[in-house]
Amino acid sequence: MRSRRHGSFFHAGLVATAALAACAPPRVPVELTPHDLQRASSRGEVLVLARFHRADTGEGIFVGGQTASVPAMVTRMEDGRTQRFGTTTAWSPAGARGWVLQALPPGSWYMTLGGGNQQNDGRAFTFMVPAGGGPAYVGSFPFDCPYTVAQPCQAIGTPRAEPAAERPALPEGTSPATTRLAVRFDRRSAAAGWPAPSSITAGINSVAVQSAINWEDLVSRAGSRGMMYIAGGFARIGASAVEGGREVGIIVGAPFFAAALGSVAIGALAAGAEGLHTAVVVREWQPCLEGLNAQTAPAAIGARFAEALALPAASRRATAGGAAPWTAEVTRVVLRRCNEAGQYGVEVATRWTAPGREARFLRDIPNAPDLRGLVFPDRMPWEAEAGGPATCRPLAEYCQAQAGALVTDAVVEAVTAARDALLAGR
């Protein structure tokens, strides 16, 4: 049950909102309304509690809006969703003390405070928002220097958990917050000091597989004329389209190859020379694309993981004392165009976990052209490099029987390179 001072929680929210609108600029977050809470609940979002304050005086610091001297931004690692953090609070007096209460979707979140190189300056953090349950308290962030709006301090101490009695009361009907402290993040330290692996398991989710191939251009007469030669197999194939000076394409989920091409065929002209041409291209490509689907099937890649990541019995015995299980999850696989026209590489991102540890890696394609529709067009700040850049090949090579399962090989190579980086950092 909330305290008497919260008896006018929602009424105070309206008053506070009006008062803030009259001030320029506002320096405290706005109160959540019943509509905000209902909307968050309907979306499956979780209330996240945090505090930002001066370490010396305890004075609250506003980080949640355009007027913030040191703004807070959060990005959901699963889908790249970025937004401001600290824009709302349970009630205005708590907001004035630096307490924020904001609804976020469950998942892993990357938070930065201020600008510049946040990781080198110790202003990057990660925290987990669990699905279901009550609110999550991610800690109180002390600014460890004399902060003023005119001269904002950007030295931030380690997040700590304040006693429950010192936290603000939450909206009526809300359960107590579970503490899940944010952790200061640096790619270098995230990949260092891991326990020895007692076992390594890895898997891939089919939704991680994406394609960055422009199928419409590939099957069109203009796109394929002069680029595709079919004589006992594919010798040279390019797929590139330019619109307004930039490459464009279609992004679809797995199984993406044959399904994507089929959707193009259905949408093509039903009759005439262009329609006949499309039918020929689709027919010739179908075996190739079905082979690519087989390469990217989670079961096919998973079987390779079991062999590539198996620990020798001697190694397991030698590390049994302080060892812990490791888990690797392939979070995205993108067959993506390289900087050279007609060349493609396999971009692979992985997430590694052990008890109390997490690290993320990316084997990417340097200077790859931008492509709208890709959730992660570039390396994310939480992704370390492992294994060097991906190999670029003509698209046709991925379909030739004698080349083997090149996509599968690339995924396994990226996973083993990330494993080796973690082992080297121990």
* Residue of 411, 378, 406 lying closest to 393 (CA atoms): 406
pLDDT band, residue 276 (cuts 50/70/90): low
Residue 173, pLDDT score: 83
Q: How many CB atoms neighbour CB 278 within 10 A?
A: 24
Residue 232, pLDDT score: 25
DSSP code per residue over 362-403? EE--TTPPP-TT-S--S--TTEEE-S-SPPPEEGGGGG-GGG
Residue 251, pLDDT score: 33
Mean local confidence (pLDDT), 326-347:
85
Residue 344, pLDDT score: 84
If DSSP codes are grouped into helix, strand and coil, which group holds residue 124? strand
Locate 51 and state its tokens: 């505090």
Residue 300, pLDDT score: 74
Locate 108 and state its tokens: 């892993």
Q: Which amino acid is present at 37? A: L
pLDDT digits 0-9 by tens, 373-398: 678 888 999 999 999 999 998 877 88
Please say if the pLDDT value at position 334 is more than 80. Answer: yes
- Top-confidence residue, 176 or 226: 176
The torsion defined by the Cα of 89, 167, 115 and 371, in degrees rounded to 10, comes to -60
pTM above 0.85, yes or no: no
Residue 366, pLDDT score: 86
Among 288-292, 339-343, 361-365, the range with the most confident prediction by mean pLDDT is: 361-365
Mean local confidence (pLDDT), 12-27:
41
pLDDT band, residue 202 (cuts 50/70/90): confident
Residue 120, pLDDT score: 92
pLDDT digits 0-9 by tens, 399-414: 776 556 888 889 899 9
Residue 266 to residue 275: CA distance in whole angstroms:
10
DSSP code per residue over 311-350? PPHHHHHHTTTTEEEEEEEEEEEEEEE-SSTTEEEEEEEE
Domain segments of the chain: what residues?
A: 4-184, 186-426
For residue 304, CA distances in Å to 250, 251, 315 come to 29, 26, 20
Please tell me the least confidently modeled range out of 203-217, 271-285, 382-396: 271-285
pLDDT digits 0-9 by tens, 104-142: 999 999 999 998 899 999 999 999 999 987 899 999 999
Mean local confidence (pLDDT), 158-178:
92
Opening angle at CA 231, ends 227 and 237, nearest 5: 25
Contact between 254 and 210 (Cβ < 8 Å)? yes
- Output the average pLDDT for the chain: 77
- pLDDT-above-70 percentage for the chain: 70
Contact between 275 and 269 (Cβ < 8 Å)? yes
Task: Show the beta-strand stretches assigned E in 242-304.
Answer: 242-243, 246-247
Q: DSSP character for 408?
A: H
Contact between 211 and 289 (Cβ < 8 Å)? no
Locate 193 and state its tokens: 């000091």
Mean local confidence (pLDDT), 76-81:
91
- Top-confidence residue, 374 or 73: 73
- pLDDT-above-90 percentage for the chain: 41
pLDDT digits 0-9 by tens, 218-266: 555 544 443 333 222 222 222 222 333 333 333 333 344 555 555 444 4
- Top-confidence residue, 344 or 348: 348
Residue 166 to residue 51: CA distance in whole angstroms:
11
Residue 246, pLDDT score: 36
